[in-house]
Amino acid sequence: MMLRDLQAIYETPLFDLIARARRVYLEHWKMNEVQLCTLLSIKTGGCSEDCGYCAQSSRYQTGVERESLMTPEEIETIATRAKENGSTRFCMGAAWKGVRDGDPRFESVLESVRRVAKLGLEVCVTLGQLGEKEAAQLKQAGVTAYNHNLDTSPEHYPNIVTTHTFQDRLDTIRHVQHSGMSVCCGGILGMGETELDRLKMLEVLTNFDPPPESVPINCLMPMAGTPLDGQASVDIFELVRLIATTRIALPRAKVRLSAGRTRLTREGQALCFFARANSIFYGAKLLTAANPGTDADRALLEELDLQPQAPFAGVVSQHSQRRPVATL
């Protein structure tokens, strides 16, 4: 989509915008279903990158301890518990610049993927930069989707990260698409960007071919010691507008209300679901950031008459399409 089309949608009167998002949603998804995902940090801290929002960068004094890679056995145990608690998607994140074929740590991740896939869960991984070969290996091991967020607009990106470029992000996403894995790609609001920056990010996402299967929309969780500590909370109506616009622009994507929910009220979260966000991360911790506990989330979903999505329901298959990502 063109930026001006996204702007026109975004600037629709709020209730009309939400009504349109709800209509679009019902053309593709079951009423009142929310997918529950678990995100596990399988290797925490000590990352060489300098992402300004991240407590795991070794460049900042954040108090996050460096931990070694979890074993496949440990990961399988946690994934089994996540499934028992209702999650249908299990995401594994590792704090490093990228993965290399032949690295024993990558071999260990591949084994973890195989074990989690055997449990019948959707498997998502976020491992940083990825080449063609590594992407193919992950796909073969059973990865459903690879997460690699754009974070923000191309223009604002260098203000947030200097150790890699926006184009590096696009290159990794292209490798993911070529492998046949789905793309999970979204952004983070509240990093000093403008509303226009958010729409520019969305413009890039809407021009992916195939479109992303999953779009996480995060609100910054300011982490002590990082350059972005102290940023103000995202305005709830700006968040709702972006969710509704994303739903309209990418109707088949899972729009995931991701990090930052502890800074939203229950009413604010309800409005995000009403605007047709249809997934949350579930569990008391999101990598290193706090997240509402599972009991609180269960209670909220029940009060809103929302049901956790059944395993593999509504997954959009994009595996037959192997076209490159749109470039800027």
Catalytic residues: 47, 51, 54, 91, 124, 184, 256
Task: Give me the least distance between CB of 196 and ligand SF4, in Å please.
Answer: 24
Spell out the alpha helix ranges (H) of 66-131.
Answer: 72-84, 104-118
> Between the CA atoms of 51, 53, 54 and 57, what dihedral angle is there, to the nearest 10 degrees?
40
- Summary count for the chain: helices (H), strands (E): 11, 12
- Applying CB under 6 A, which part among 28-36, 45-53, 101-109, 232-240 lies near ligand SF4? 45-53
Whole-number Å distance between alpha carbons of 112 and 72: 4
Within 8 A by CB and 6+ apart from 294, the residues are 85, 282, 283, 284
Q: Which is nearer to ligand SF4, 192 or 314 (CB)?
A: 192
Instruction: Figure out which of the listed residues 47, 143, 280, 325 binds ligand SF4, where binding follows CB under 6 A.
Output: 47
Which lies closer to ligand SF4 via its Cβ, residue 143 or residue 244?
A: 143
Find where tokens 């968040």 sit: 239
Beta carbons within 8 Å of 132's beta carbon, 6+ residues apart: 175, 178, 179
Q: Which of residues 83-122 bind ligand SF4 (CB under 6 A)?
A: 95
Rounded distance between C-alpha atoms, residue 100 and residue 123, angstroms: 20
Q: Work out which of 10, 18, 40, 49 binds ligand SF4, going by CB under 6 A.
A: 49
By CB under 6 A, residue 128 contacts ligand SF4: yes
Kindly state the smallest distance separating residue 45's Cβ from ligand SF4, in Å: 8
Query: Could you say whether residue 288 binds ligand SF4 (CB under 6 A)?
Result: no
Per rule CB under 6 A, is residue 216 in the interface with ligand SF4? no
Is the Cβ–Cβ distance between 181 and 138 less than 8 Å?
yes
- 296 alpha carbon, distance to own chain's centre: 21
Residue 308: φ, ψ to 5°: -60, 140
Choosing from 35, 57, 153, 214, the residue that interacts with ligand SF4 (CB under 6 A) is 57
Given candidates 9, 21, 36, 56, which one binds ligand SF4 under the rule CB under 6 A?
56
Among 17, 42, 51, 272, binds ligand SF4 (CB under 6 A): 51
Min dist CB 6 to ligand SF4, Å, is: 26
Q: Which residues of this chain interact with ligand SF4, rule CB under 6 A?
A: 47, 49, 51, 54, 56-57, 95, 128
